[in-house]
Amino acid sequence: MTDYRNDVKFQAKVTSTRTMIGQLADYRVDDAFAVKARSHGAHNLTGHEATLVPLAVLFSQYDKTLLTTIKNNTDLDHDMGVRGSSEARDRSVWNPIKNAMTNFKAVHGADIIAEDKNGNPLTVNDVSRTYLSVNYLGGQTTGGAGDTVFKRTLKLLGHVYY
């Protein structure tokens, strides 16, 4: 088990990812604007942003080739939040992510990546169970807000860093 809250390089990556999202939001990149809005309370989803951004950062380090695939098959100017978005549902992009979650969680499931609002540590497994759907090996059988935040963050990471 690794406690990434104490890993200076990991925390710098999370901070720079949030800065990148903020800058892209300022440039009116819709996916970045949506993630940033959640950090400010939009749709009462601050917990999603607070925990899924670190999860996406750790996942991006786990298999960089998947981020390149996301970059090559998505458009930064396309809003994944538009109802019926073909990009958000493109199986060739997202099924490899879903498939990789099995090994990712086997390797990193017990690693601490965030804290809840009371300062209690949250592991990859905790974050997945709380915020991701069963499609991404999470615990949510309905909804998709967590999946959307996770996918948008991975997309933004892919376009900027890979």
pLDDT tens digits for range 120-141? 999 999 999 999 999 999 999 9
Is residue 43 over pLDDT 60? no
What's the rounded mean pLDDT across residues 68-77? Answer: 95
pTM tops 0.85, yes or no: yes
- Residue 77 falls in which region: left (phi positive, over 0), alpha (psi -120 to 50) or beta: alpha
One-letter-per-residue 3-state SS of 75-137: CCCCCCCCCCCCCCCCHHHHHHHHHHHHHHHHHHCCCEEEECCCCCEEEHHHHHHHHCEHHHC
Percent of the chain predicted with pLDDT > 90: 78
pLDDT-derived band at 1 (thresholds 50, 70, 90) equals very high
